Amino acid sequence: MNIHRLKDTIINRIAAGEVVERPASVVKELVENAIDAGADRIEITTAGGGKNLIRVHDNGSGIAANELELAVSRHCTSKMADNIHDIRSLGFRGEALPSIASVAHLRLASRAGESTAGAEITVAGGRRAPVRPAAIQSGTVVEVRDLFYATPARLKFLKSDQAEAAAISDNVKRLAIAFPHIRFSLSGTERLIIDLPAAPLFAAAAQAAAKPEAEPGNEEDIARAQAYHSRLIQILGRDFAENSVGLNARRENVHIFGFIGIPSYHRGNALHQFAYVNGRPVRDKIISAALRAAYADMLPAGRHAVAALFLQLDPAHVDVNVHPAKADVRFRDAGLIRGLIIGAIRQVLEQAGARPATTAAAALIKAAEANRQAGNKTAYQAYEAAYYRDRQSETAPFIKAGNKAPVAFAAASGAYPAGRGRITGFAEDPAPWHETEDEIVPAPAAPLLTDNKASAPALPGMWPQPFPPAADFRLPEDNQDEAEADEQHAAMAQFPLGAAKAQIHQNYIIAQTENSLIIVDQHAAHERLVYEALKQALYAEPLASQMLLIPEIIELPPEDIARLLSHAEFLQKFGLVFEPFGNHALAVRETPALLGQINVQKLMRDLADEAAEHDTAGGLKDRLDYVAATMACHGSVRSGRRLKPQEMNALLRQMEQVPQSGTCNHGRPTFIELKLTDIEKLFARR
C-alpha cells in the first residue's frame, strides 16, 4: 500500500504525545516498522547505549524512492486507511520517523522490491535533504545518530550507556518473542549480543503433522506453539522448557495461548512476564493482575511467575490507541479477559500437579477413607487417588514421574506439556510421606529458650533469630529429671502451636498441642517472620550488618552493576554494603546480620532483577516490601536444615507472636493443623 497522509478526522483521534523517550523506544519503533514491512531478517546495531547510533536493517518490502519524503512526514503512513478501530499492524500513527528525525540525525535508505536502484533521504533536526541514490541491495536501513543532540536537557535524563543498552535489549527480546519466524540480531558497543535464529515454522508444522499423538486438525496450532516455544527457550533458556507448561483456551472468540512457568519456577521480578495482544507486546494492568491472581496462593511472598501469554481477539474489541508508545491497550470486556486468563492458568497448573497445600488435611482424611475401602493400596496411592477423584480430573497422565509426555494438544481448553515435562509437583515426589523413620530427630520435652536468647544477638522486639548453631544443646535426660520435663512439656502444649516433638524430612516440624497435631513448614514460616521483621526495621533505624571476613566479589552484567550502585545507599539501610570492583563486578563488604549465613551471589542477582524491574517505575525505594521479600527469602532457614529442638520451639513461639505468620504467607500456609478428632477419623475411631 502507498504512503499517504491520514485524514484530519483521524489525526485528531490519535493519542498525541511523544514516542521518543529514550533509545529503547527508537529501537522499538524501527523494529516495528521492519516487522510491518514483512521482513524475516532484522539486524540491529547500537553504539553508546543507542545515544550515538542506532541502525536497523531489514529485508522487508522497502520504500519506493518517491515515497521517502512522505515516510518522514508527520501523519503519513501506509498502514491505516480510515478505521482506527481495526488496526492490524504494529504502527498506524505515521509519527515515528518524523518524531525521531526531529530529535536526531536520521538516514533512511531503502529499495522497494520492484525498483532497480535504492534511494535515501537524510533529515537533521527536522530539516530534510533532497532524496538521492543509495547503494542498497534490498530492504531498508534506518540510521539514527546523536539522539537528543539538540536537547541537552533530554540527554541528561537518560541513564548510563549500559542501562540504556539493557533497555534496548529488553525491547528487542519482547518483540522477538512475538515473531519467532523472524531472525533478530542485536550487537552494540556495550557488548550486548543477541542472535535469535528464526524458529523453523514450516519444518515444525510438517513434523507435528507426522506425529501420531497429535490431535487431528491442529497441526497448525501445534506448529505455531512450537515456534513460539523455541523462541522463548532462546530467550529464557533451557530451564524454561523444563519448568513450563503450555496453555491454550478459548472463550467467546477470545483465544489465549502461551507458556507459563510451574509455581516452583519463580523469579525475583516480573520482567519475565510477556504479554501480547494480537501480536503486539503490551504492558497491561489487567493481564498482569490476572497473572498475579492466578498464582496468588502458589508463589512465595515477593516472587513472580514466568509467563508468555498471547491473546488473540477481534481488533474491534481492543483499543490500542491509548498511549503513543502503543504498549497500553484497553479491552472492551476486561472481565472476560481476566476470567479467561485466571481460569486457563489455574486449570493448567492443576493438571500439572501444582496444588495449594490448604487442601492437605482434607485430602489426607479422604485418602484414609479410600485406603480402608481399597484394602491393599498404600496410603500414598490412596491419597493421590482421592485427590484426583476430588478434582474430577482425568487429565493427569503427563505429570507422573518419568512418564514421557506425549505432545497431546487439547484444542478447546486443555493443556499440552512443554518440553519433556519435568513438572515438579506432589504427585511426582517419589518419597511417600509416611516413610520417615530414619529422619526423625527426637525433641526434648523442654524448651531451652533462655539458652537461645543468650547465644543470639539482642534484637529489638520479636526478631526472628538467625538460628545460631546450638552448640550447648543436650538431650533432656542429661540435665533434667523426667518429671520436670513432663511439666515443661505440658506448659508448652498450651501454646497455640504447642511443643515441638520432631523434625521430619528436614523441613517439617511436628508439634503437639493439647488437642491437635501441628505440621509446620519451617522454611515458609521463617521466611515470613524475616520478611515482617525486615519491613518493620525499615521504619526504624538501619539494620545491623555483619562484616564479611573477605569481601565477596560478584561478577554481574554492567547494566546490573549500574542499577545496584544507584541503590547502594538505600540498601545500606538494610545492612547491605557494597562498592564497585573493577568494571564488571561488585565487592560486597557487609550483609544484613538478620539474614545469617546467606548466598551473597544469589541475593545480589535477585536484587539486581528487582532493581531492573522497578528502575523506571519510581525507583526501588517505593518498593521496600519487595526488597524485604527478596532478602527474606535468602535469610530463611532452608528446607533441608536440621533444626535443634530449641530452635524448633523458638520458631513456634515467634510464629505465635507475629500475627501474619500463621494464617497466610502470601497465600501459602506455613502450618497445618490436624485436630485430634481428625486424627481419630483417620483411624476410624469415629
Helix ranges restricted to H, 179-255: 201-210, 219-236, 238-242
**Whose Cβ is closer to ligand ADP: residue 107's or residue 266's?**
107
The one among 6, 71, 308, 408 contacting ligand ADP by CB under 6 A: 71
**Whose Cβ is closer to ligand ADP: residue 6's or residue 655's?**
6
Report the 3 state secondary structure along 19-49: CCCCHHHHHHHHHHHHHHCCCCEEEEEEEHH
Q: Which three cell numbers stand for residue 370?
A: 479410600
Angle, vertex CA 10, rays to CA 8 and CA 13, nearest 5: 115
Give the interface with Mg ion as residue ranges (CB under 5 A).
33, 91, 96
Minimum distance between the CB of residue 324 and Mg ion, rounded to whole angstroms? 11
- Number of residues near ligand ADP (by CB under 6 A): 22
Site string for ligand ADP, 7-46 (x = CB under 6 A): ----------------------x---xx--x---------
**Whose Cβ is closer to ligand ADP: residue 141's or residue 500's?**
141
Within 8 A by CB and 6+ apart from 491, the residues are: none
> Which single residue brings its beta carbon nearest to Mg ion?
91
Under DSSP, is residue 55 helix (H, G, I), strand (E, B) or coil?
strand
Query: What is the DSSP code (8-state) at residue 310?
Result: E
Q: Determine, following the binding rule CB under 6 A, whether residue 77 of this chain makes contact with ligand ADP.
A: yes
Number of H helices, E strands in the chain: 24, 28
Query: What is the DSSP code (8-state) at residue 668?
Result: B
578 binds, among ligand ADP, Mg ion, none (CB under 5 to 8 A by kind): none
Instruction: Report the distance separating Cα 519 and Cα 678, nearest Å.
Output: 14
60 binds, among ligand ADP, Mg ion, none (CB under 5 to 8 A by kind): ligand ADP
Angle, vertex CA 227, rays to CA 236 and CA 35, nearest 5: 90
Site string for ligand ADP, 125-154 (x = CB under 6 A): ---------------x--------------
Pairing of strands 183-188, 41-47: parallel
624-635 and 522-538 are packed helices; what angle lies between their axes, rounded to 10 degrees? 140
Q: Give the range of 71-79, 119-127, 149-157, 362-370 binding ligand ADP by CB under 6 A.
A: 71-79
Under DSSP, is residue 549 helix (H, G, I), strand (E, B) or coil?
strand
Minimum distance between the CB of residue 32 and Mg ion, rounded to whole angstroms? 5
The one among 25, 44, 51, 58 contacting ligand ADP by CB under 6 A: 58
**Whose Cβ is closer to Mg ion: residue 96's or residue 533's?**
96
Q: Determine, following the binding rule CB under 6 A, whether residue 60 of this chain makes contact with ligand ADP.
A: yes
Instruction: Report the distance separating Cα 299 and Cα 308, nearest Å.
Output: 17
Helix H or strand E encompassing 307? strand 307-312
Within 8 A by CB and 6+ apart from 536, the residues are: 461
107 binds, among Mg ion, ligand ADP, none (CB under 5 to 8 A by kind): none
Instruction: Report the distance separating Cα 98 and Cα 106, nearest Å.
Output: 9
Under DSSP, is residue 223 helix (H, G, I), strand (E, B) or coil?
helix
The one among 10, 26, 63, 627 contacting ligand ADP by CB under 6 A: 63
Q: Determine, following the binding rule CB under 6 A, whether residue 102 of this chain makes contact with ligand ADP.
A: no
Between the alpha carbon of residue 192 and those of residues 166, 180, 329, 352, 601, the distances in Å are: 8, 20, 30, 36, 22
The one among 50, 94, 261, 669 contacting ligand ADP by CB under 6 A: 94
**Whose Cβ is closer to Mg ion: residue 33's or residue 269's?**
33
**Whose Cβ is closer to ligand ADP: residue 60's or residue 575's?**
60
Minimum distance between the CB of residue 77 and Mg ion, rounded to whole angstroms? 7
> Which single residue brings its beta carbon nearest to ligand ADP?
91
Minimum distance between the CB of residue 90 and ligand ADP, rounded to whole angstroms? 7
**Whose Cβ is closer to ligand ADP: residue 79's or residue 681's?**
79
Instruction: Report the distance separating Cα 319 and Cα 328, nearest Å.
Output: 9
**Whose Cβ is closer to Mg ion: residue 33's or residue 465's?**
33
Q: Which three cell numbers stand for residue 586?
A: 561488585
In the block, which residue shows the cell 521482513? 39
Minimum distance between the CB of residue 82 and Mg ion, rounded to whole angstroms? 18
Q: Determine, following the binding rule CB under 6 A, whether residue 61 of this chain makes contact with ligand ADP.
A: yes
**Whose Cβ is closer to ligand ADP: residue 64's or residue 504's?**
64
**Whose Cβ is closer to Mg ion: residue 162's or residue 321's?**
321
**Whose Cβ is closer to ligand ADP: residue 17's or residue 468's?**
17
93 binds, among ligand ADP, Mg ion, none (CB under 5 to 8 A by kind): ligand ADP
Query: What is the DSSP code (8-state) at residue 488?
Result: H
| Amino acid in position 583 | N
Q: Determine, following the binding rule CB under 6 A, whether residue 97 of this chain makes contact with ligand ADP.
A: yes
Minimum distance between the CB of residue 111 and ligand ADP, rounded to whole angstroms? 10
Q: Determine, following the binding rule CB under 6 A, whether residue 79 of this chain makes contact with ligand ADP.
A: yes
Q: Determine, following the binding rule CB under 6 A, whether residue 78 of this chain makes contact with ligand ADP.
A: yes
Within 8 A by CB and 6+ apart from 39, the residues are: 58, 59, 60, 139, 182
Within 8 A by CB and 6+ apart from 384, the residues are: 367, 427
Point out which residues bind ligand ADP (CB under 6 A).
Answer: 3, 29, 33-34, 37, 58, 60-63, 71, 77-79, 91-97, 140
